[in-house]
Amino acid sequence: MFDAILIDKTDDAQSVSQTQIDTDHLPEGDVLVEIAYSTLNYKDALAITGASPVVRKFPMVPGIDFAGIVRESSHPDYKAGDKVVLNGWGVGEVHWGGLAKFARVKGDWLVPLPEAISMKRAMAIGTAGYTAMLCVQALEEHGVAPDAGPVAVTGAAGGVGSVAVTLLAGRGYEVAAVTGREEEADFLTSLGASSIVARDELSGKPRALNKERFAGGVDVAGSTVLANLLSMTRYGGTVAACGLAAGMDLPASVAPFILRGVTLAGVDSVMCPAPRRRAAWDALAAELDMEKLDALSVELPFSEVIDAAPKFLKGQIRGRVIVPVAPELG
């Protein structure tokens, strides 16, 4: 028996509890992982609160991230004792996730943990940090160079945004951190932001084209914020979009695309192919300032995850939230 957070649903009523589960009840998979650390992400908070229909199969153990040690494996790439990390693949949505002491998953979903990254720091990075790297790589692949001009990062004080600010600054970019929390200005500057942009500047009714302001951007918001960012992007620039915190709609025009040659690059972390995942994790191991990573991370006891989920959705928690499950594993 082991501890887990379990979401269930009866009729139209959802319930969430910390409970005990037998390993025999774990779903099918060819690798059993003992989890050292997990996280609380935006998607996890939506699942736990029921604020959005993230969970598509009940009962469900949430947690789209985990890092741990392989205990049993019939997969050719993994053996007992290997340290691994998992992000996405529907884990925490349609397959039991990481907010538990054990997880049984498909080995194809796992990534070997780079030696330079501890399991705790792997979860400080988590899906948010891994997604941030995918966004930075997308900007680079589309030709947005450090000397092109400022790059905007929306939701800069959040999980994806804070890591994106750090990564971009580390690569020499001028980072314009967009946030609705003025009190986070010093924090964002410490991560490498060159300027702070009030979210209100990107929240008004979008125009077809605004004054060219940014060479590119990383957007976690969608909706009006993304539409305004696109309208402010310079000729030939690229915006990497990976989130929908402000909504799934996009009230934009085609003007930035056909008059300025702007590229909207979609970034998906959930079903991202394994080679690209490994490349992103290798880049994180090589580039990410671990001291800054520690500064933007907080630990949340396993017993407090359920109560913290609503606060997360209200933007009351800064940066990356690490959940120790079995920290003694290393």
Q: What does the alpha-carbon distance between residue 216 and residue 233 come to, in Å, rounded to a whole number? A: 6
Q: pLDDT tens string for the chain (330 positions)? A: 999 999 999 988 999 999 999 999 999 999 999 999 999 988 999 999 999 889 999 999 999 999 999 999 999 999 999 999 999 999 999 999 999 999 999 999 999 999 999 999 999 999 989 999 999 999 999 999 999 999 999 999 888 999 999 999 999 999 999 999 889 999 999 999 999 999 999 999 999 999 999 999 999 999 999 999 999 999 999 999 999 989 999 999 999 999 999 999 999 999 999 999 999 999 999 999 998 888 878 999 999 999 999 998 887 877 789 999 999 998
Q: Quick check: 104 and 26 in contact, CB under 8 A?
A: yes
CATH number of the domain to which 92 belongs: 3.90.180.10
Domain assignment present for residue 211? The answer is: yes
Total tally of structural domains belonging to the chain: 2
- Give exposure, 114-127, as e/b (b: 16+ Cβ within 10 Å): beebbbbbbbbbbb
Are 180 and 52 members of one domain?
Answer: no
- Residue-by-residue DSSP string for 231-288: HTEEEEEEEEE---TT-S-----SHHHHHS--EEEE---SS--HHHHHHHHHHHHHH-
Tens-digit pLDDT profile for residues 47-101: 999 998 899 999 999 999 999 999 999 999 999 999 999 999 999 999 999 999 9
Domain assignment present for residue 143? The answer is: yes
Are 77 and 178 members of one domain?
Answer: no
Domain assignment present for residue 285? The answer is: no
Q: What does the alpha-carbon distance between residue 129 and residue 242 come to, in Å, rounded to a whole number? A: 12
Are 140 and 248 members of one domain?
Answer: yes
Q: Given this model, what pLDDT does residue 324 score?
A: 97
Give residue for tokens 């039991």: 96
Are 165 and 191 members of one domain?
Answer: yes
Tens-digit pLDDT profile for residues 179-201: 998 899 999 999 999 999 999 99
Q: Say what the pTM is.
A: 0.89
Are 33 and 107 members of one domain?
Answer: yes
Q: Quick check: 166 and 296 in contact, CB under 8 A?
A: yes
Domain assignment present for residue 7? The answer is: yes
Are 198 and 252 members of one domain?
Answer: yes
Are 89 and 208 members of one domain?
Answer: no
Are 140 and 107 members of one domain?
Answer: no
CATH number of the domain to which 212 belongs: 3.40.50.720
Are 96 and 141 members of one domain?
Answer: no
Q: Given this model, what pLDDT does residue 83 score?
A: 98
Mark which of 243, 266, 289 sits at the end of a domain: 266
Q: What does the alpha-carbon distance between residue 109 and residue 91 come to, in Å, rounded to a whole number? A: 9
311: containing domain: 2-113+300-329
Are 48 and 149 members of one domain?
Answer: no
Are 43 and 147 members of one domain?
Answer: no
Are 76 and 197 members of one domain?
Answer: no
Minimal CA–CA distance to 139: which of 33, 239, 44, 39? 239
